[in-house]
Structure 1
Amino acid sequence: MSTTSAWTSVPHDPPSQRDWATRARYAPTDFITLLWRERFLMLGVFVVIVVLGFAFSTTLKKNYTAQSSLFVRLGQEYVYEPRAGDAGRGAVPDVDQVIQSEAEILGSGELRERVIRKIGFANVFPSEAAKYAGATPEGKRKLIALGRDAIARNLKIETAPDNSIIRLSYQNEHPEMAEKVLNTLLEEYLTYRRGLLIGADDRVLQRQKDIFEQKLEETDTSYQSFLSTNDIGDFTSQKATLTQLQSQVEQQRYSIEAQLQDRVARLASVSTELARTPAETVLYRDSDTSAAAKLNQLKLDREGLLSRYRPDASPVRDIDAQIAQLERGIAAGRTAGEGARRSGPNPIWQTLQTSRNDLSAEVAALRESQATAVQQVADVNQRLMRLAELEPQFNQLTRDRDVLTSNVRDFTVKEQQDEAQRRMSSESSDNIRIVQRAVAPSKGKSLKTPILALTIMFAAFTALCAGLVRMFLRPGLQTPASAARTLNLPVLATAGYKRAA
């Protein structure tokens, strides 16, 4: 109720006291009506912008795009070869890293500057030829820098993941120049990348090898001086010989000591036996065989009597009695008597005496040998101890000498390999192949059509904006529907508006 009273009081108030803070409310149909009222303004803005865009598009020239492509593989220059040591030897990047590296080289400013200098600044940028010809050296340097940036804007390098192809394109107003710039870029790229990746022959390996050779010469001098000062021909062989000699002398000493103990024991035994053995003994003695001979004679006589007498005859019985009596005496030992006997030196005593003398001589000789062996062992041990004292210094000199020799050998090999690699790489780039060289494009592209399309779209948008601005800036309520919607009151009648003459 309060709202109705407030709005009903508005028409009765003077116009100067109305609440102009209330905004006009429009419907979509109102926009169409109101914008149609501003059609002349919108048409003028549209035509002006279209004319300006068309005039600008007529100044645009055709650009010709030359295209080429490269096939890139992993090359020897990407294989890591350490200058010293073997850590990380043979490490290689993946294909994408190689492609990105080659793309960066293709897009480098140095390469673009080489192209400009080879073709000629005036040929690449004929519009700036007169300015370049009259410029100072500093001015020429700045113009070349601007030319590098201009080539960079027109040069396009495309790569794709997991793809070994690099695509290049270059735009220029002249198709021949587009072809020439792109082909020159490829040629200079093949030369520039070799110098960049392989490097110049800076003789670093040669200088380092010379340093090692000088150190090796000094170490060799110290090594030879060490050997001559200590009277050593070959330290390792001499130490091995002394070690072997020590083993032999020790073994010989133990053998002599064992023989000496054996001979001393035998000498003591022989001396004891010699003391118990008499110096003289019976050499031989004769036995008394007369009884046996007489017995045999009696038996022969009996046999003779039996040839003349009977066995029971008195002579035979007498001789039998004699034979029986003699046999009993022989059996009882009554007929045994001592014969002749001879005495002399005891052979056993002589043998023992000879053995003792021999053993005594052997013992004396073994004692001398033992003393000699002990002295030899002492001498060998002393020489080994002297070598042991000299061994740390010898090992240090030998280690330095071996390390320097190995370094000289390694750097010699590396120098030769580096030289061979540099020569091979300078002659060819087997891992870079030009798949397609640039050819002069027959068709050019111009931005006239896109510029005109954008101009028309921009002109339409600007004209619409101008109409809306003009519509909203007009005072009052423009349509009966807008007035009724804004004031929340019905419009009963409308009157036409006529401009003053």
Structure 2
Amino acid sequence: MTQKPIPGNQGVPTAASNRAVSFYTAGSGVYGKPRPFNLRDLLIVFFKHKYMIISIFCLAVILTPLVYYFLPAKYEASSTLMFRYGQEYQSPMVSGEQTPVRVGLQEILHSELAILSSTDLKERLLKSLGIENIYPKLRAFSDEPVKQLEYAKVFFERDLHVQAGRNSNLITVTFQNADPGTAAKVVNSLVAAYIARRVEILHDSRPLQLLDKKVAEYLDRLKRSEGELQAFKQQHQVFAFDEQRDMLLKERMNLETTARTTQSLVKELRQKLSTLESQLKGVAASLPVASENDPRNELEMQLVTLQRREQELLSKYKENNVFVTSVRNEIQVVKGFIEKQKQTAARGRSAVNTLYQDLQKEIISTKAEVSSLEVRSKELEAQVTLADKRIQEFDQQERTARDLQRTLTANEQMYQLYQKRFEEARVSEDMSQDKMASVNVIEQASASELPIWPTKGVSFYLALAAFLGIGGGLTLAFSLEFINQGLSSPQKTEQCLNIPVLTTIPYKA
């Protein structure tokens, strides 16, 4: 039927739903008293929107198992690390001493967390394990390796969780992935890469390089010192200083003793010579006798004896030897005496005084001996002076050799010291390289059989989907009903217009 406006009201007729009913709207004004919402209203709304509610319910029930079976499950793997103060946070000195630790535990943990969460470490891990092994479906996003790496870093950042324990020295590394084995492998590989990376960051190779340089430097110095000392000993023929000094001192002492003895003998012989010369002055040179044998015969025999002795000495010693010189002096004296006897015999026959002759012989012998001993004394004095000079030179050589030996010893000690420090530093570096540092893996990651999502069976999610589907459908239906500004039912028409509805006629456009 045709809808007519009510007099006194400025409204327009409205048809609502596929079951349109005849009603009157009052424009902007709504008349009538509101009545409470009852079961009938609920049923009206339900049957009015039953297709929509059933569609939402079916959609939720159908999609739930599809989502359950087609969406990948999430598995989680975790590993726990414990930290303690190690050599990484100590500064090794060249002398081997270490500075005290001035870094707190929280600062250390923050540093370790920064290393674990660093982008460089993640990129290394993604490249080493392979992006396709961690995120196989990433090729659907892009075929370019650079973009795949960027997407993988985003997903990796989402799935990785690194957390330090409160008031403890523990760090937990957790990773989520669709494959439990991959999750465990990623965590263990990340921990291994982290330990290697922290060794690179925290390990300072400068002390080791400096020690290596010092070892080479002092080894070169040691070899040079050994060469200089050996060359000096070879040049001056000094090897056993104490024995050689004792020999020189003993030789000098013997020379000095012999020189003093010779000087004493010279002094005694001079006194004897002075006495003999005094006695000779008081004795007559010759005595008158009727007949007497010629004394030249005895002198000639003595000359022959001295000449024989000279030949014997020349066979044993050189011509400038003291004994040869002494014998030759005696020979000259005897020859001179024979010459005097010849002159005396030429003047007349007289007998030589035997005492005078004996004194002369003694004087000649004493003079020859004094001359020989004086020469010997001068030679001994020269030898003593030479011995003193040799001792002084030996002392100087010994001081030089001692200095070279001290330099050699100092270089050897420094070489051994730096060699020891170098070995200690190399052992410390080997320990760091072998991961024997301040990080201990308390628990390694293992593949979990139970996923972290979904945690319930499909029946639970079906029931939940059914409940949410009905609830969502009803909520949407009531929302549409309250949002609608028209009169969609006879009850609402009577309530709003405060007039009875006689009948309703379905309307189809």
Could you state the TM-score of these two structures normalised by the residue count of structure 2? Answer: 0.45
Could you state the TM-score of these two structures normalised by the residue count of structure 1? Answer: 0.45
